[in-house]
Structures are given as C-alpha cells and as structure tokens.
C-alpha cells in the first residue's frame, strides 16, 4: 500500500516548502507518486494488450533484378488467449496454407522463396499476407494485413547489327542490308521496330515483332532492306 499523505512543518506560508525537513517529505512524496504512475501505466498496458492473431512478414531484399530470389519470412502468433482451430495463412501472391490448430501463445513460422520472373514485371512487387482462425465458440479471428515491397529492374540491352551484302557497289546499284536485333534482356520484347536514320525509313517492323528470350541462347530477329546507292552523303564507294 502506498500512502500519499504529506504533513508539512511550519506555518501555511512559503517557508513550509523551504523548511529542510519538509524538503525531505516532498521528495519522498514525489517518489511515491512516480511509483504509483508506473504501476498505473503497467496496468493500462496489460489491460490493452494485443489480442488475436499477430502476423509479421519480412524479406531478404527490397530491390531485385530479373532472376533474383526473394526470400519471405513469416511468423504467425496466437495472442488471442485461447487455442485456435481452422487457422489459415494467406499470401495474395502465393495462395493459402492450412495451418490447422494453433495453441495459445504458439508461433507458426513459414519461409517462402520466389524467383523474380516476367509476370512480376515491371514492378514494384508488393504482396499482402494475413491469417484467420476460429476460437472454441467458432467466432472468427483475423490478423492485420502485412506486406513487403520489392522494387524491380531488368538488366540487359538490345543489340543491333547491320551488314551489307556487298562491301562496295557502283552509284545507282542496289545492295541488300541485313539488320539483326539481338535481345539481351531476360524477358520477351514486344512491338519491336527498327529505325533507320540514314535512309530515313521511319520504322521498319522487325520479323518477328515479338522477340523472345530463351536462356542461355540469345534470340535474333532479322529484317532485310534493299537500298539503292546514290551520290548523297550516304554514297557507297564505287570501285570503278
């Protein structure tokens, strides 16, 4: 029992608080008051403790390239105060897992690995997770939704090569140029076009228009274009 009574010595004036003995009494009173506030705070926290299912989710990275592996770690805890049954864990990217029974204060851990693929692009990759369960009276308990976000990038490039059929042609002659596009990305490139600035072709549709990537081979798309040599700045050297 904490007593907060305080009997001061002296007349009811300012000297009550300056009297040496009263200083000791006041200091003791303050200590008791602090102790009482601490006890009240503890009681308040315990009364409002988290109840229900608690789910945490973390990942081993927050940015990734195509082909990288992201490892998600989950921890589901029963803080409801009673045993739960029919517990189900759900991640909107990976689906649901039946946990079953989860005793009071028990923890269910889970690790899921995911390789970044074309369906995740362009990102960011954000997936939400939650859990549900039932108490002995069959009332449903649901955890708060947690999430983890990973920003995504694709490493690679499109490599363009152009080769003439003939190294030299006379003015007025015709040469065939073959343009080869190599897809160095790890994903399919669509709406592929070739821009030829020299001969002012606005956009040559590459065949195929969609250029797939098949690891570890690089896939090529080709387009042939007949061009007539002329005497302008694009003139082809005439060996004659």
pLDDT tens digits, one per residue of 94-121: 999 999 999 999 999 999 999 998 889 8
Co-location of 112 and 59 in the same domain: yes
Look at residue 170 in the predicted model and tell me its pLDDT: 77
Total tally of structural domains belonging to the chain: 3
Distance, in Å, from the CA atom of 82 to the CA atom of 53, rounded to the nearest integer, reads: 11
Higher pLDDT, 88 or 47: 88
Co-location of 35 and 57 in the same domain: no
The residue from 153, 169, 192 where one domain ends is 153
Co-location of 148 and 162 in the same domain: no
Identify the band that residue 134 occupies on the pLDDT scale cut at 50, 70 and 90: very high
Is residue 119 a part of any domain in this protein? yes
Is residue 2 a part of any domain in this protein? no
Distance, in Å, from the CA atom of 152 to the CA atom of 148, rounded to the nearest integer, reads: 13
pLDDT at 181 over 60: yes
The residue from 125, 153, 181 where one domain ends is 153
User: If you write DSSP's letter for every residue of 181-201 in order, what string do you get?
Assistant: EEE-SSS-B-S-EEEETTTTE
CATH number, domain containing residue 128: 2.60.40.10
Strands (E), the chain: 53-59, 63-65, 69-78, 84-91, 95-102, 107-115, 125-134, 140-142, 146-153, 158-164, 174-183, 193-196, 201-205, 220-228
State mean pLDDT over 63-84.
95
CB neighbour list of residue 170: distance below 8 Å, 6 or more residues apart: 229, 238, 239, 240
pLDDT tens digits, one per residue of 19-36: 566 666 667 767 777 777
Co-location of 60 and 128 in the same domain: yes
Name beta bridge partners: 90. Answer: 96, 130
pLDDT at 207 over 70: no
SS3 (DSSP) at 230: coil
Give the residue numbers spanning the domain of 199: 158-228
Look at residue 79 in the predicted model and tell me its pLDDT: 94
């Amino acid at each position: 029992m904490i007593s907060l009574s305080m009997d001061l010595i002296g007349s009811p004036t300012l000297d009550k608080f300056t009297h040496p003995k009263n200083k000791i009494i006041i200091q003791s009173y303050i200590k008791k008051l602090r102790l009482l506030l601490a006890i009240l705070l503890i009681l308040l926290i315990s009364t409002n403790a988290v109840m229900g299912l608690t789910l945490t989710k973390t990942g081993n990275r927050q940015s990734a390239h195509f082909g990288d592996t992201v490892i998600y770690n989950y921890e589901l805890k029963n803080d409801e105060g009673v045993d739960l049954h029919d517990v189900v864990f759900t991640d909107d990217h990976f689906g649901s897992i039946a946990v079953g029974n989860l005793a009071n204060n028990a923890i269910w851990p889970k690790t899921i690995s995911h390789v970044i693929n074309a369906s995740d692009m362009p990102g960011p990759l954000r997936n939400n997770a939650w859990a549900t369960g039932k108490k002995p009276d069959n009332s449903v308990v649901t955890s708060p939704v947690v999430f983890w976000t990973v920003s995504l990038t694709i490493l690679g490039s499109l490599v363009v090569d152009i080769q003439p059929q003939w190294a030299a042609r006379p003015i007025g002659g015709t040469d065939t140029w073959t343009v080869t596009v190599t897809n160095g990305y790890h994903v399919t490139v669509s709406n592929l076009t070739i821009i030829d600035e020299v001969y002012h072709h606005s956009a040559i549709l590459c065949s195929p228009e969609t250029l797939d990537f098949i690891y570890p081979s690089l896939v090529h798309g080709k387009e042939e274009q007949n061009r007539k040599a002329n005497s302008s700045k694009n003139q082809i050297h005439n060996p004659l």
